[in-house]
Amino acid sequence: SPWRPVLLLLSPPAFSTTCARCAKDGRLRRKRAISERQLTRYFVDQRKVRVVGGHGGGGGHSFYSEPRKVFGGPDGGNGGDGGHVILKADQQMKSLSSVFPFYQGFHGERGGSKNCYGANGAHMYVKVPVGTLVKEDGRVVADLTQHGEEYVAAYGGAGGKGNRFFLSNENRAPTLFTPGEPGQERLLQLELKTTAHAGLVGFPNAGKSSLLRAISRAKPAVAAYPFTTLNPHVGVVHYQDYEQVAVADVPGLIKGAHQNRGLGMAFLKHIERCRFLLYVLDLSVPRPWIQLQDLKYELEAYGKGLSERPCVVIGNKIDLAQSRINLPLLREQVAERVIALSALTGDNLEELLLHLRELYDTYVKTEQARGQSPVKW
């Protein structure tokens, strides 16, 4: 009918950029939170990498010639060296997910005439997180624990020699020149061990992720089923004097974790780098001190002396009635200091933050007394 197009023209558009309310809604719309299952694609703590150094440039082959100087002699320059592949620790990197499976250094340029040397190939820098172990055939060849620390993973090949190099009294017109050497080729295993000041140690559903969300801006997934945390998360606690303490929430362990049961070694290797430990116990279960004994046994079975590091026992879920009954019993059975709190309601978090700072200050003084620089965030 003839009036239908008119109605279509007069109908309001589905979206208007001039509407203030629509513009405000678009500006305030938040990005959808990424679940823990999706985060597994982004956090990688192991990677195999094949590295090949750059190929050296070939030597030049030429003879100098100009008017009235026909026999000017050889003037082929040497080729440039190939570039190295260098691993560099960067504190901005938190995962090995951005590391590609293959890297090759840049090739050196060929030597030119008039004794011109070829340019060296540029080095290939690969950024890796601080705390990356580099292994070759199961043997540790490098441990990048400091920001800016470098390790040459593959050396570039040497450049070839030009025919000028072979000039001698016996051979005044050498035609010999050598090609560049190939770069070094290696297959390396990169393994990330989370470098944090404190590590939250506990069984599944003890409330480690909830506690980390309460004291920092980290957002690990929280749910009522075991093994909600599948990857380590690092939260940073900020203090008024601008000091920052990094706290790592690693996947929960079970009995026999040192024998690679459950998440096993995937959990324990991230605890190795922690300077002090926070044992998180669920106060609502019967005999919570048994949890502490089992946790220390697993740590000691994995690495001797790991359970003897400075620590504090955190009794979580104090907001429950059964937890208040178990708290005095736990303090009778445990020799370490016990801090009772609730990560859900935020009760008594101040005591934990103050004691965490005391542990950090003790660690800094100990490292300075040894002449070493403490890890800073």
Asked whether 59 and 111 are in contact (CB, 8 A), the reply is yes
Domain formed by 198-370, architecture: 3-Layer(aba) Sandwich (3.40)
pLDDT tens digits, the chain, 377 residues: what are they? 444 444 444 444 433 334 444 433 444 444 444 444 444 444 677 889 999 999 999 998 888 877 777 777 888 899 999 999 999 999 888 778 889 999 999 999 999 888 889 999 999 999 998 888 899 998 999 989 888 899 999 999 999 999 888 888 888 888 888 999 999 999 999 988 777 788 888 888 788 888 888 888 877 666 554 455 556 778 888 998 888 898 888 765 555 444 444 444 556 777 887 888 999 998 988 888 888 888 888 888 887 888 888 999 999 989 888 888 989 998 998 888 899 999 888 888 999 999 999 999 999 999 899 888 787 76
DSSP assignment of 183-238 equals PPEEEEEEEE----SEEEE--TTSSHHHHHHHHSS------SSTT---S-EEEEEE
Identical fold, 43-193 and 198-370: no
Looking at the domain that runs over 43-193, which CATH code has it been given? 2.70.210.12
Spatial CA neighbour of 344 closest among 214, 203, 206: 214
* Whole-number pLDDT of residue 93: 85
| Nearest C-alpha neighbor of 139 from the set 192, 191, 84, 194 | 191
- β-strand pairing of 102-104 with 185-192: unpaired
The CA distance from 79 to 65, in Å, is 21
CB distance 249 to 206 below 8 Å? no
- Whether 298 contacts 257, CB under 8 Å: yes
How many beta carbons lie within 10 A of that of residue 373, not counting itself?
Answer: 10
Q: Residue 127's pLDDT is what?
A: 94
| pLDDT for the residue numbered 25 | 43
* Residue whose C-alpha is closest to residue 144's, from 124, 155, 129: 129
Is residue 354 within a helix (H) or strand (E), and if so which, with residue range?
A: helix 349-369
pLDDT recorded at residue 141: 93
pTM of the prediction? 0.66
Edge-to-edge strand list for the sheet holding 124-129? 124-129, 85-90, 150-154
**How far is Cα 37 from Cα 16, in angstroms, rounded to an integer?**
37
Pairing mode, if any, of strands 233-238 and 244-249?
antiparallel
Q: 305-317 burial by CB neighbour count: b if 16+ within 10 A, else e? A: ebbeeebbbbbbb
Phi, psi of 360 (to 5 degrees): -65, -45
Token pair listed for 140: 């540790």
| Cβ-count burial 76-105 (b if 16+ within 10 Å, e if not) | bbbbbbbbbbbbbbbeebbbbeebeeebbb
**Amino acid letter for position 207:** G
Domain positions in the chain:
43-193, 198-370
Q: What is the 3-state secondary structure (H, E, C) of 22-40?
A: HHHHHHHCCCCCCCHHHHC
